[in-house]
Amino acid sequence: MAANSSCPSAFSMHAALFASLVCAALFFGSGEAGAAHKVFDPEWHPATATWYGSADGDGSDVKTVYGSPAVNVFDAGGACGYGTLVDVVPMKARVGAVSPVLFKNGEGCGACYKVRCLDSSICSRRAVTVIVTDECPGGVCSGGRTHFDLSGAAFGRLAVAGSGGQLRNRGEINVVFRRTACKYRGKNIAFHVNEGSTSFWLSLLVEFEDGDGDIGSVQLKQANSAQWQDMQHIWGATWSLTPGPLVGPFSVRLTTLTSKQTLTAQDVIPKNWTPKATYTSRLNFAV
């Protein structure tokens, strides 16, 4: 059908312009598949923030146990399960732990927030973008508080140039935050097959999700099958499927938690998949 078949063809100049605008709305404003759904909160909300790890580190090296400042434990990338990804670009120096109200039992993993501190004498006017990679369950994060426990590097970037160390010395500070779209430039969604996976228990970690960043559901389709099987959210950004034997290649369908967008990666995990391998799709959510 021609693009103007449903639009009037004989009008005055002004009427024709109006008709063309109506046509544009009909053809391009209907929310077609693949269109971007912005995850954007125009309002700033109050919260508090601290930092952990080394002063200029990514937060994943050493973490202080709440209530026991003298005791340090290895963090292994945080409760979301991203492991060493938090140590390298594009996550490097942008990671943080959040209190349970934002962690959402792991469903908040991967979400992105802009965080800004408030003291004009030391704080930058520019917000820092933080990716949720961990949970801080106790201490200043308990009691229903909204709290960000940032990497030392991310916390320092809240300050004006040269004042990062002075800001870190303050410990806990007041901040404001808002949700923002995640953007992993040059990256497509990837699926890491977790260690211990077999043809009877498959565990996947979802990586580099643009847009919402969070995950509401994951489904898997086996080779030569039309059935989508629901994977179970077990912890962090990790999902698993138990019934077996499972036969690849596998297609994976993601639905985001916030805006319910769906993306399908066909045959993204090959028949000869192996544990601890990462398989990258050719697509990502539009932002």
Residue extents of the structural domains in the chain = 45-179, 190-280
Where is 102: in which H helix or E strand?
helix 100-103
Cβ atoms within 10 Å, residue 256: 22
Average pLDDT over residues 203-212: 96
Whether 175 contacts 115, CB under 8 Å = yes
Whether 96 contacts 116, CB under 8 Å = no
Question: What pLDDT was estimated at residue 68?
Answer: 28
Cβ atoms within 10 Å, residue 246: 20
What's the pTM?
Answer: 0.80
Between 72 and 276, residue with greater pLDDT: 276
Question: What pLDDT was estimated at residue 93?
Answer: 73
Average pLDDT over residues 17-25: 36
Mean pLDDT score across all residues of the chain = 82
In whole angstroms, give the CA distance from residue 69 to residue 124. 28
pLDDT tens digit sequence for 83-121 = 888 878 888 778 899 999 999 999 999 999 999 999 999
Question: What pLDDT was estimated at residue 60?
Answer: 58
Question: What pLDDT was estimated at residue 38?
Answer: 64
Question: What pLDDT was estimated at residue 53?
Answer: 83
Whether 148 contacts 215, CB under 8 Å = no
CATH fold of 190-280: Immunoglobulin-like (2.60.40)
Given a cut of 50, whether residue 64 has pLDDT beyond it is: no
Given a cut of 50, whether residue 44 has pLDDT beyond it is: yes
User: Can you name the residues that pair with 194 across neighbouring β-strands?
Assistant: none
Question: What pLDDT was estimated at residue 72?
Answer: 32
Q: List the single range of 29-38, 58-67, 278-287 with lowest mean pLDDT.
A: 29-38
Given a cut of 90, whether residue 257 has pLDDT beyond it is: yes
Residue reference for tokens 């970690």: 205
Given a cut of 90, whether residue 214 has pLDDT beyond it is: yes
Question: With bands split at pLDDT 50, 70 and 90, how would you rate the model's confidence at 17?
Answer: very low
Task: Catalogue the E-assigned strands of 89-201.
Answer: 95-98, 112-117, 128-135, 147-151, 173-180, 190-193
Between 39 and 247, residue with greater pLDDT: 247
Residue reference for tokens 């340090």: 72
Question: What pLDDT was estimated at residue 59?
Answer: 65
Question: With bands split at pLDDT 50, 70 and 90, how would you rate the model's confidence at 218?
Answer: very high
Tokens matching residue 166: 């002075």
45-179 maps to which CATH number? 2.40.40.10
Closest among 14, 11, 19, 15 to 3, alpha carbons compared: 19
Q: What are phi and psi of 118, to 5 degrees?
A: -110, -20
Alpha helices of 157-255 — where are they, by DSSP H?
164-168
How many residues in the chain? 287
